[in-house]
Chains A and B, each alone.
Chain A
Amino acid sequence: MKLVNKFVDKNGTGHVTLRPEDDEDMWHLYNLIQQGDLVRAPAIRRVQNVSTTGSVESHRVRLNLTLQVSRVEFLSSSAPASSADQTPSNAGSSAVPLPSAALHISGPVTSENQHVRLGAFHTLDIESHRDVRIEKVEGWDSIALSRVEESCVPGRGAEVGAVVCGEGTAAFCLLSQHLTLITHRISVPIPRKASATGASQHEKAMTKFYATLYDAFVRHIPYSTPSLRAIVFASPGWVRDGVFDWMLGEASRRGDKILTKALREKALRVHISSPHVHSLVEVLKSPEIVSQLKETKFAREGVVLDKFFKMLGVDEMRAWYGPDHVFLAADRGAIGTLLISDDLFRASDPESRKKYVALVEGAQQKGAEVVIFSSMHESGQQLNQLTGIAAILTFPLDVEVVEAEEREAREAEEQKKQEEERDTESGAG
């Protein structure tokens, strides 16, 4: 993403103009734009003119519109499962895939022009390479500003292609900093070995599976782009070896030098325990990947989440989850690492967003490490399942004791209040 213009005063009000370039930028915009914000972007609107004779004339006008956002919608480009063939969007397999994620912003128009009346509804379809101006009525908070900064760092496109396979199934995934895209899935029915003699059906089906996988790989993994840092083949058992050997053999048979080179240089084989996409978490935890992609966001997320679960196993009192509990921990200054999903900042209710922003800022001030998980990654999904917020505490705290303390404090306060009321009453009386 390119930062075109930024004007934010010290109170946080102001506007930022951004130019999205790829899928990930769309995701950033999705996370930046909140209900109630003013967004200005180019749009195409069908304008109808009714002439004096009553005939209707309709034409499409390209114009810049400013909306007050009432709804934001993000559609990732995930391929539908089991579709044999997608529309060949780009013939060149090595070309960078075009951004396919879509961002729709709808709301009433706030600045009138000659074609569109004030208050008319419009849905902006955000396009790549077109400027978008975002103005926050409530002001820019630290989370939003850091997001803008993060999204505009050049050369962050450290991407990983992954093929998660099992016997007869494979999912092709592309991982970037904030997104995991499942670009394609294949599933080939494999008869299991029948008895000692009749193994041929199994082997025939495996050959077919390898061939299908090769074709899908060539089409869906941009293996030759330099930004793709690694290609991971992950599977339980030995399927990954079978797949890799087949791919190498087939590539050299077909004389595809680029693919052969890419496979030799970038391919990593990682053991996982199940052929489901959620095993990507295991991939990201594996030492091969961690050493290669240490500084990338998704690897970090995986490591931190793993740390949290381990802590939960070792010392339950130092691993808390759920908003209520985490807020209690924050009150006691106990948070060492805060795990929070970006889902929570997208809350349509500005109050709850403010609450979480305050929590993050508070934790950061106290020197805690804050990791904001992207819910488009598997690790973020898992955090979302776990209420979206969790914390590793610096010292053990018993949830029940703390809750009891809270209750007592509240009761004491109420009592005080009652007493005060009584005092004032008696004073008045």
Chain B
Amino acid sequence: MGEETTSGLDDRIIQDTLWECYFDVEKAIHWLYEEQERRVAARERRAIKEREKAQKAAQKKSAQSPGTSGYTTPVSRAMSPVNTPGRSLKKPGASSSKKSGASTPARGGAGLDQRSLDIFALNLGSNEPQPSFDEPLPKVALEREKLLQEARRVLEGDASTDKKAVSLVVIGHVDAGKSTLMGRLLYELGRVDEKTRIANERGSSKAGKSSFSWAWELDGTAEERERGITMDIALQSLATPHRQVTILDAPGHKDFVPNMISGASRADCALLVVDAATGEFEAGFDRGGQTREHLLLVRSLGVSQVVVAVNKLDQVNWDQSRYEEICGLLRSFLTQSGFHPSKTNFVPVAAMLGVNLVNRTGSDAQELSTWYKGATLVDLLDKLDPPVRDITSPLRLPISNVFKGQSSGTGVNGRICGGIVQVGEKLRVLPGDESAIVRSIEVEGASVPWAAAGANATLYLTAIDPIHLSIGSVLCPPSDIVPLATVFTARVIVFDIQLPITAGASVELFHHSRDVPATISKLITTLDRASGAVTKKKPRVLSKGTSAEVEITLRAGTLSGPSAVARPIPLEPFSSNKDMGRVLVRRGGETISAGIVLDILG
């Protein structure tokens, strides 16, 4: 079963199925019989994709013959014993077609992966999935299998009856009206009752900040209200006719980009809010503005769908030309940053007046209705495609918040980046030697027996001292722990920066909700952005726009010489878990580069 290479095509399919089913033999055989026919069709489709990919891929990949190429074991890196190229890309398409015939979102997801790879100038060969699981515990596997089946059923859901869950991060320059838009939207959708609204209105006008009354719904802390800006992520959820949307309202101020990253790493899609007022859009969009930075950040964190809400159009008298101008500027930047035009949508809104959020009725909307006939914001949110969730991989839950539960136990909050978790499971907390037991799970405010990848879940843990739980730690199954790293290689793309990156540059490394001081310890190679071919070895500096392979070392917190050792952080190569393998690099309050983890060296 665990053999690395197999000869016949049949064996390959069997092996593949075994993978899908976690080496549960009975299950696998069952699937095999049932799915054989569909698999043939799927393979053909895969072959076509494979050919497309092969064209773009690097030389060593393109050497493989199309058609069956995906199934030969390439010169693989040490991490995964069975390393089938192209699998991760195919898998979404393949597995979904297996399950439900044809599921367009899944295929879309795969296509976008391709694109994301392009912007990273990635060599496709390195983008491989799923580490191998040496020996599954039989008992768990059975239980797990049932759970996986159930999860699969729910996730696929019947579109007509079930709402698909997506999480949405709201981004944009400071004071673009992100929180206000969300506050108003929540109100329009009936998530905020009249009483709260009046309380907020009264409170904010008393504080002399009546324009912030809608934002108060999300800006809960005293300091945020006093200063009138969002400082940390606010988590809310709302329901559109076909989607259950988790809203992560990110702060726009540049000092709080770390919080924004923490929120964006939990999102599937993004809602970009831009201020249409004269000069304001430009301030956000120019160099150093957060419109640009946020878009690059979310793209680097794997978000591929974006809805752009052009806000405050009432302040420019619903000027259509202004709307078109902004859309034009943004559209070219979005394409340039790697967002596919088909996955970006624009919508004119006025958050304060509530125009074009849910509908375009009322006197305020008349002017807009004269030239805009398209979808409202809610219509667009309703069409967001949830990406394919990887529920078969081992559980990874990076903690983004730790708080005290209502009774005993500690609550932790975070997005599941892979796998599935159920009540009663024992989980390991990394870094550290502690483990905890899941007492209950909450998703969207409701208690649930299990939660799968993609969910923004709150777990209440027992049998652990809260001191061992900190923001940035990762929960994982004790049988399959996430590796800890202090030194790793990464393939990065350098953003538009003024000072080039030298070897030894002091930076901050961002990974989910954690940021740690680090250095770019070695510049290994610069790569061609399109083909991924090595252009220069040991470059002296990395200037803007280059793509490169670098070695990153975490720094010890103290200056007390070489004896100080850095504390490792949980990290995984991109090839084993995409969400856990994405890192961002910032320096001096500016995002200078984004990348994916290739190899963990120590």
Contact = CB atoms under 8 A, between A and B. Distances in A.
A399 interface: yes
Contacts of A376: 559
Contacts of A384: 504
Given A180-B559, A387-B504, A194 B499 contact: no
B256 A191 contact: no
Given A185-B557, A385-B504, A193 B221 contact: yes
Contacts of A386: 502-505
Given A236-B589, A238-B227, A378-B559, A191 B402 contact: yes
B403 A194 contact: yes
Interface stretch (A36-44, A147-155, A211-219, A276-284): A276-284
Contacts of B541: 312, 316
Contacts of B521: 385
Interface string B499-524: 11011111010000001110101000
B558 interface: yes
Contact of B221 (A76, A81, A199, A387): A199
Interface in A157-214: 171, 180, 182, 185, 189, 191-199, 201-203
Interface stretch (B58-66, B86-94, B230-238, B449-457): B230-238
Nearest to A77: B560
A321 B559 contact: no
A189 B256 contact: no
A171 B498 CA distance: 29
Interface string B545-584: 0000000000101111100000000000000000000000
Contacts of B586: 273-274
B216 interface: yes
B400 A192 contact: yes
B255 interface: yes
Nearest to A168: B471
Contacts of A74: 561
Contacts of A238: 223, 227
Contact of B401 (A81, A191, A273): A191
A416 B561 CA distance: 47
Given A277-B558, A386-B502, A196 B220 contact: yes
A76 B508 CA distance: 25
A203 B233 CA distance: 16
B499 A313 contact: yes
Interface in B203-237: 216-224, 227, 231-236
B506 A309 contact: no
Nearest to B521: A385
B45 interface: no
A237 B260 CA distance: 13
Contacts of B234: 193, 195-196
A310 interface: yes
A189 B402 contact: yes
Contacts of B506: 278, 281, 381-382, 385
A189 B402 CA distance: 8
B404 interface: yes
A203 B221 contact: yes
Nearest to A384: B504
Contacts of A191: 401-404
Contacts of A282: 588
Interface string A262-284: 00000000010110111001100
Contacts of B231: 237
Quick one: which of B253, B259, B402, B558 has the most chain A CB within 10 A?
B558
A384 B219 CA distance: 43
B540 interface: yes
B401 A192 contact: yes
Given A194-B401, A316-B541, A381 B559 contact: yes
B580 to A, nearest CB: 21
A190 B211 CA distance: 29
Contacts of A76: 559-561
Given A237-B255, A273-B589, A378-B559, A385 B220 contact: no
B517 to A, nearest CB: 4
B462 interface: no
A278 B505 CA distance: 11
A386 B233 CA distance: 36
Contacts of B258: 274
A377 interface: yes
Contacts of B73: none
A146 interface: no
B559 A193 contact: no
A399 B517 CA distance: 30
Nearest to A201: B403
B221 A273 contact: no
B114 interface: no
A78 interface: yes
Contacts of A78: 558-560
Given A198-B220, A316-B541, A192 B471 contact: yes
Contacts of B255: 236-237, 271, 273
B214 to A, nearest CB: 12
A282 B517 CA distance: 14
Contacts of A378: 559
B400 to A, nearest CB: 7
A107 to B, nearest CB: 21
Contacts of B471: 189, 192
A327 B298 CA distance: 44
B470 interface: yes
Nearest to A306: B499
Contacts of B216: 196
A372 to B, nearest CB: 17
A237 B404 CA distance: 25
Nearest to B221: A199
Contacts of A321: 502
Contacts of B499: 309-310, 312-313
Given A182-B559, A312-B541, A195 B220 contact: yes
Contacts of A75: 560
Contacts of A242: 223
Given A192-B233, A277-B557, A202 B402 contact: no
Nearest to B470: A189
Contacts of B500: 312-313, 316
A81 B402 contact: no
B284 to A, nearest CB: 19
A197 B470 contact: no
B417 to A, nearest CB: 19
A307 B539 CA distance: 21
Quick one: which of A192, A236, A237, A312 has the most chain B CB within 10 A?
A192
A189 B153 CA distance: 39
A388 to B, nearest CB: 9
A386 B466 CA distance: 40
Nearest to B256: A237
B343 to A, nearest CB: 30
A172 to B, nearest CB: 12
Contacts of A377: 559
A169 B258 CA distance: 15
Interface string B90-102: 0000000000000
B516 to A, nearest CB: 8
Given A191-B403, A273-B590, A316-B540, 12 more contacts: A182-B558, A192-B232, A192-B471, A193-B220, A193-B224, A196-B217, A198-B220, A199-B220, A202-B221, A236-B256, A276-B516, A381-B559
14 contacts: A192-B233, A193-B232, A194-B220, A196-B219, A197-B220, A236-B589, A237-B255, A274-B517, A276-B516, A277-B559, A310-B499, A316-B541, A316-B543, A382-B504
3 closest Cβ pairs, A-B complex: A273-B589, A385-B504, A191-B403
Interface of B: 216-224, 227, 231-236, 253, 255-256, 258-259, 400-404, 466-467, 470-471, 498-500, 502-506, 508, 515-517, 519, 521, 540-541, 543, 555, 557-561, 586, 588-590
